[in-house]
Structure 1
Amino acid sequence: MTSRIALVTGATQGLGTALVAGLAQRLDADDTVYLTGRDAARVETAVASLPATEAEVRGEVLDVSDPESVTRLATELERRHGGVDIVFNNAVMRVGPDDDPRAIIDDYAQVNNFGTTRVLRALAPLIRDGGRLIVVASSLGTLHFLAPVLHSRFDALPSLDAVDAATAAWSAEVRDGRARAGAWPGFINIPSKIAQVAAVRALAGQRRQSDAGRGILLAAVCPGMMNTPTSALWWDVSGAPSPAQAAGPLLSLALDPVKPDHYGELVRDGAVLPWRPAA
């Protein structure tokens, strides 16, 4: 049996580290889990912090906001292993209540959105039969949280290029203040998460038939509210699960048999969250 290769982006803290730990505990001794992040020192510290695991954990620098960084690692993975079996795209730039969306939107979109589409473009061709390509998003990533007049901006987009164009247009409106005066939600996390799910749906539309024949799952996933310092800036999360607890359903999605209805959808706790509001 070929050794399995897994990779988690944005894995130097919180949910990302928990996903690496969970994968490394559940995979076999011949398997490898890549813990990635954009800061080499933090990657090294995160790897050293993990308990003993079955699979090998390897640290790699990956900055999803840098196209060359994404291409470089994808090339290396293909050279070393010939493909990848499990990918969690978890990299995220967090936003606080005091941040001015106009000032941060470019960096924010480069990580959360264009970073997502870069990872999908680079790693989808490397997913082996039976593999998983999973984007960590949010239950906010559906059209339910967007004004109906804006639904067409992200609905039924045919390609990742189209998703990038929609994201760029939204980002420009945030940057110059038009979004604040219009129908866009003030919390930029909402359109960002919708664009992430739209990216999964667009790629799934192109790959559905071939992936079904190869047993591949492409999906977005919502980990739910977690007790983290960033979430605590916005909400009372004292009773919320820890990142390690929240990782459980995500690991099941990556390691359990594929459920066909999950393909191309946003999944939370094993259930599909509808993309569009009920008619």
Structure 2
Amino acid sequence: MDWDRDGGDWPNREASQFIAARPHRWHVQVMGEGPDLLLLHGTGATTHSWRDVLPLLAKHYRVIAPDLPGHGFTKLGRHNRSSMEAMAEDCWTLCDELDVAPHAIIGHSAGGAVALRMAQIRQGPATVIGINAALGDFDGPAGFLFPMMAKALSMTPFVSLAFSQLTTRTGGVARLLDGTGSTIDARGRKLYARTVASAAHVEGALLMMAQWSTRAAREGLPGLKIPVTFLAAENDRTVPAKVSRHAATQAPNGCYISMGRLGHLAHEEDPNLAVRLILDAIPQT
């Protein structure tokens, strides 16, 4: 995605800045004052996923929301830095560059796994909050075949461009969104369509899927002593709520909270509910 072409009406544009933190050139939105909250979106999303949540949280905290490597306006510095482990490490590098010390890390979907891994590899956050956290790997042969397919696609010239164009022209974006179990507003649907129209963004998502494994985050749950809250929607067709229910039993201070009959994009469907639950879960400083 190109900021000059696509960033003119980007949600919360006034909070955007670009930061070089090795090995990437990051697009980051920073808003508010107070203790730091770090927001991490999921695979295939960008900061636009937090468009309504960010300003609400910024009434109470300084909120930092980056586009993950290869996503949105963040330029991927190295193609082998799209795994959960690498993203967790690189997000800490970004925090160091910005002089950010997250009091809480909130992650949606794959961002929830990255948030957990960040807290496992470095002490600092008082809590982690996952919204429909994607902590399950593919079972059986799919656990081998799907990453291999995603890797092959991401390395094939013009595949990202072809996928982007095909999905945009055939109504594929609407089908992808409907498949999440969520109903989001027209603006949100247009923003997802705009991101999918970017071949670079699609390549970033494919690289993330190709390198993805949540095993380290799952295995590290029993050793994570800080409070961990798993918010999950019962109509999530992407990451079943049972994934979060199980994860909450593995963390010594884990807590599961249902978001009712929302879908995978619950924080976009009902940002007021999401913010209320997030604020309730953050320890007071």
TM-score range, shorter chain: 0.3 to 0.5
Q: TM-score, length-normalised on structure 1? A: 0.40
TM-score (norm 2): 0.39
